[in-house]
Homo-oligomer: A and B are copies of this chain.
């Protein structure tokens, strides 16, 4: 479509100053960093081509400016509307795929990554193995025992002191920072693996929910005649001092929105099956899920240093 778009636009765009975009790109000075020069030059080219191909008018552009400013104005510590707008356009999932590919090309196939999303909070409480992250009474919630092992992708050995940082919504579809009725840090926690690499805790079988649609991201969905629903999922960041942090999500197969995610984050390898759990008064369901981390050494051998990238993805 890009090629078609470019070709098809020739007649529509030829009436505009053929030197304009080149002049803007060439205004970049000699001291610009090479990556900046390449990336912003390409961004200018694409945005200008987009404007010409669609003959964007001043009025339409002004609406876009208002939209972008409104996203920033709505953003604060608890809400990142700029990120949400990108998510709705598939951009976070795409850059996640790109970043993952840059790593996995070199290291074969560790656990797949998925987008961070706008609801992670730094420094979640450290909890003891076997604890529950459910801080309030949820009588009819689908209580779940979630367990697994964190291993080194290359050696297969368990990783001690890996941190499993987990977060998900309450059954009402809200993360605790969105919901004044939930205790602070509800349904969040960090667990440190023991020498055997194992972790286990209690959480809820997750619930599908709409992304917040009271701001620009919601306007965008409405304009596109799209639903805001995300399939039920649990978020993780799994990290260890000697390994690249892994940002991912797992999705509940029974959820119809697995094929229909408003932010396009589902990957087949991240869809899981919750099983009925017998003989545990604390949980009706269980799920075993293992994480495979790529060591810095393996990453370096492969000539990639994507660690800094994933650290940034975790908001550090």
Spell out A's residues near B (CB within 8 Å).
1-3, 5-6, 15-17, 20-25, 27-33, 36-40, 42-63, 65-66, 68-75, 80-83, 86, 89-99, 101-102, 105, 116, 220, 223-226, 247, 264, 306, 308-313, 315
- Closest Cβ neighbor of A7 among chain B residues: B3
B223 and A90 contacting across the interface, CB-CB below 8 Å:
no
In the complex, chain B residues whose CB is within 8 Å of the CB of A75 = 69, 72-73
> What is the copy number of this chain in the assembly?
2
**A1 with B24: CB separation less than 8 A:** no
Q: Is the interface of A mostly helix, strand, loop or mixed?
A: helix
Contact A43 B32 (CB under 8 A): no
A65 touches B42 (CB 8 A): no
Q: Given known contacts A59-B308, A68-B82, what 16 new A-B pairs fall within 8 Å (CB)?
A: A2-B49, A16-B98, A16-B101, A29-B224, A30-B225, A46-B49, A48-B90, A55-B98, A56-B95, A56-B98, A57-B99, A58-B96, A58-B312, A62-B315, A68-B71, A72-B72
Q: A306 contacts which chain B residues (CB < 8 A)? A: 57
Q: A38-B54, A59-B312 are in contact. Are A97 and B20 (CB under 8 A)?
A: yes
